[in-house]
Amino acid sequence: MQTNEHVKLSAAATALALPWLKKDAWIPFTASILIDVDHYLWYAISHRTLSLKDALRFFNQADPPQTQMMKFLHQPLTLGLLLFLAVRLRSRVLALILAGFLFHVSLDVVHITQMSNLKQTLGDQVNHACPECGKVEKPLQLHTVHYASNLLDRYNPEHFIVLCGTCHEKSHQKSASK
């Protein structure tokens, strides 16, 4: 899920929670966005650079590698530790940070599930043959052709195609050079 989608959905959730959270509503909102700082920290440490531009290039490649360390703030152990501390210290702030983290992780779970279903469905439709070069590959990689401006249309199959790894990388190189 793209950052702007997380921001829109987190803002909507914050607006709904505003009557109960009042002046503290900014805490879970901010936490739900800043949880992704773990991706950048992982990149900075593992690649020994602080370049945000290089990190964005890495994460926007066709099929970036995914590791647990890349998402250490998203992990159940981290979330459980935060829950323990929030309860043990009776900290409203830590509980609200945890709420923001959990909201973000739940959005990630929905996104991953939807994208996996799209990849499987579209791959089955083309019999796992890349529409660009004809190479049979299982699984093919999901490529976004168009980002829907309407979040309700986000997972419309018309916005995606499946490609082999080589063609997928080529399509990202073409769009990066534009």
Residues 128, 177: Cα–Cα separation, whole Å:
28
Predicted TM-score of the model (pTM): 0.87
Question: Do residues 140 and 133 touch, judged by C-beta distance below 8 A?
Answer: no
Long-range contacts of 113-116 (CB under 8 A, 24+ apart): 114/154, 114/155, 115/142, 115/155
Question: CB neighbours of 57 closer than 8 A, spacing ≥ 6?
Answer: 176
What pLDDT does residue 178 have? 61
Strand partners, 160: 144
Region 118-127: what's the mean pLDDT?
95
**162 φ, ψ (degrees, to nearest 5):** -110, 140
Question: Do residues 169 and 175 touch, judged by C-beta distance below 8 A?
Answer: no
Residue 29 predicted with pLDDT over 70: yes
Asked which of 4-8, 34-38, 57-61 is least confident by mean pLDDT, the reply is: 57-61
Domain ranges of the chain: 3-177
Q: What is the pLDDT of residues 107-117, one digit of tens each?
A: 999 999 999 99
Residues 139, 142: Cα–Cα separation, whole Å:
9
Q: What is the pLDDT of residues 34-58, one digit of tens each?
A: 999 999 999 999 999 999 999 988 8
What pLDDT does residue 53 have? 92
Q: What is the pLDDT of residues 123-146, one digit of tens each?
A: 999 999 999 999 998 889 999 998
Count of C-beta atoms within a 10 Å radius of residue 87: 12
What pLDDT does residue 109 have? 95
Residues 74, 55: Cα–Cα separation, whole Å:
19
Residue 68: pLDDT band with limits 50, 70, 90: confident
What pLDDT does residue 177 have? 65
Between the two ends of the chain, the Cα-to-Cα distance in Å is: 22
What pLDDT does residue 11 have? 96
Q: What is the pLDDT of residues 165-176, one digit of tens each?
A: 999 988 888 776
CA gyration radius, the chain: 19
